[in-house]
Structure 1
């Protein structure tokens, strides 16, 4: 009986290895970029003699890249519809920032009212561009290129080529404020609220993952081995709590991080757990098949670009708050940063493939590269060269892996 035990054990080990290989293969883009992000962080941590992961610098990474993350979330949906992109988001950010500056600084308008007005203007911009793209079927590249020129010109006209500043302190808190520590009087040098928030997020994530695994097993759906499941949980929970510890060691949870976290949760749920979200993937996979299945592809495309413009307005408000000014030069190359973040994070250039989390990973890769090279004193010309090379390699990886799967 002993040889039989050894054979069955060997088969079990082989089957587990096969499952792990299948999981890695089905998520190759996202896992590859996650590994790349960790490798880049370790590299710059060594090269900068530990400066990169100082609590203050980790917080600055969040603040500096908040607008890229917000734009990348919206850009992901555009790319999912079929590899479409929005070239106007940088100019929309500048345009919304200029409107916010005129309303708040010049007209002394109530900040909350001005923000609502800016978001509504972003909605109108999205309706304008979405109509031409979805219903007239002018290529998104052309429509948004026109929008890039149009809104940049309007921004310069409104500001008369000058920078408008400063914004009131309350407006600046959008990108420079922190959640107050509810336990400040305890005499602890760390922000306890940040630590507790990390613990709450960890428990919530643990509950959802365990519940999801139990449901998959209940219906006999394919799932990762228990050992791999535990490893994933440990790694993610450790990452969450280490990150919140870094934040707690500085000033706590930035207000803009709460906004980013909320957007990430909402859009991740939308794309993975709702019918409308799956429509976007279906359209990107094969628009003709999606239309024949009864999906209103024009409506999906229209709402995607409306959503992108609204998130462009959000990013414009956030960036103006951080810059503490409305400038004609705001938003230059923002669209390129957002597009690069999506492709680096695993979105397919053909559409139908990509995740919100992947786009955020891509944005963090770009952010760490920018921050690390700046600390090392690398010139802006070389920074652009390196980022361009990284983007090319990410898209080449996508194309080659897709071709390999076909063969």
Structure 2
């Protein structure tokens, strides 16, 4: 239910708004806009899900994103620094901010809610201070390309972006090979697997979705650069959480911190580095947002933390810690993004949008608690 329920809900929500918007939602231009509009929230959700699995929370990520965006604007626009160097420095600053907050949470044992609430206020104030209450713009084209550019078509400039179609086919082939290999491994170790009929149906459905998605992108401008960045982050962090010692330690600490400590896991160190990682991803989110807006502004990052937290819980992360996946957080973020976009298209006011999003979040957490009580 956790694995497929929210993905099924995402598909149903998309179909619902496709009908309500008279087909506007799934038009190529709007699909591309959905990716661009939600990219910075999805980046935050990837880091936030690790924090939530550990049993903590980070309320400062929106303010950190705004602060780092402001620093990048000052470096690139005011001081004409090389874009690559400025991006590296901005990410390092994000990491240092994460280390600052991680120190108080992991080693001083101040609750993350308090530390990051203080961080939210601190870095929002610093953002207004360094920008002197004014926006800084415009960024050079090379910086904007990070958020609004597209990969070039190596096979011509026709009506369809051929390279995007080729990538869709290659990705489908890789997906089939990985799924078949995983199923054979499970069978070799005598694990329970789904029926061959369900397995083939799942493969077919995913291949159809992948190629429809890439075809829709190909009819517009192709694959956005930010989608490549997001895909790389999802692959890397999914691997870390599922296949590495660090990832297993995160789950162990979130499940039972005392037991994890007694078993030899360095709980303080893992928590500290999780906050460092969150700081770097918050910085990346701030850079992406600044590149899309083409300006560093004091109001950047407003309520980003709430959208990222909501994405994680809607995507299946547990309010008690120990449960959650990177893929689930991405699906949860897409659910929020599709709802925002669909409700805006049909003309619902911001008041109704906020109310509905709050209700969806409450239902998601209530479902998690119901499952936990049922299991116990």
Q: Smaller-chain TM-score range?
A: over 0.9
**1:251 alignment partner, SS class:** coil
Match of 1:215 in 2: 185
Query: Shift of residue 397 of structure 1?
Result: 0.6
Match of 1:254 in 2: 224
Match of 1:64 in 2: 37
Looking at structure 2, the residues matched to 261 and 381 of structure 1 have their Cα atoms a distance apart, in angstroms, of 33
Match of 1:290 in 2: 260
1:254-333 alignment, distance < 5 Å: 254-333=224-303
**Contact in 2 for aligned 1:280/1:300 (Cα 8 Å):** yes
Match of 1:383 in 2: 353
Match of 2:121 in 1: 149
What TM-score do you get using the length of structure 2 for normalisation? 0.99
**2:22 alignment partner, SS class:** coil
Counterpart selection for 2:97 from 102, 118, 125 = 125
Looking at structure 1, the residues matched to 109 and 336 of structure 2 have their Cα atoms a distance apart, in angstroms, of 33
Deviations 1:300-324 (A, max 9, x none): 1111111000000010000000000
Query: Shift of residue 221 of structure 1?
Result: 2.1
Residue 189 in structure 1 maps to residue 162 in structure 2:
no
Query: Shift of residue 163 of structure 1?
Result: 0.9
Residue 35 in structure 1 maps to residue 8 in structure 2:
yes
Tell which structure's C-alpha radius of gyration is larger: 1
Query: Shift of residue 205 of structure 1?
Result: 1.1
Q: Which runs of 5+ in 2 are unaligned?
A: none
Looking at structure 1, the residues matched to 215 and 110 of structure 2 have their Cα atoms a distance apart, in angstroms, of 49
Pairwise CA RMSD: 0.9
Q: Which moved more, 1:32-41 or 1:66-75?
A: 32-41
Deviations 1:333-369 (A, max 9, x none): 0000000000000000001111111000100000000
Match of 1:371 in 2: 341
Q: Which runs of 5+ in 1 are unaligned?
A: 1-27
Deviations 1:31-74 (A, max 9, x none): 22112111111111001000000011001000000001000000
Match of 1:16 in 2: none
Query: Shift of residue 327 of structure 1?
Result: 0.4
Looking at structure 1, the residues matched to 32 and 258 of structure 2 have their Cα atoms a distance apart, in angstroms, of 45
Residue 177 in structure 1 maps to residue 129 in structure 2:
no
Looking at structure 1, the residues matched to 346 and 329 of structure 2 have their Cα atoms a distance apart, in angstroms, of 26
Counterpart selection for 2:65 from 93, 118, 132 = 93
Looking at structure 1, the residues matched to 205 and 319 of structure 2 have their Cα atoms a distance apart, in angstroms, of 30
Match of 1:46 in 2: 19
**Contact in 2 for aligned 1:75/1:338 (Cα 8 Å):** yes
Query: Shift of residue 30 of structure 1?
Result: 3.4
What TM-score do you get using the length of structure 1 for normalisation? 0.91
Residue 164 in structure 1 maps to residue 136 in structure 2:
yes
**Contact in 2 for aligned 1:29/1:398 (Cα 8 Å):** no
Looking at structure 2, the residues matched to 388 and 289 of structure 1 have their Cα atoms a distance apart, in angstroms, of 35
* Structure 1 consecutive aligned stretches of length 4 or more whose deviation exceeds 3 Å: none
**Contact in 2 for aligned 1:73/1:264 (Cα 8 Å):** yes
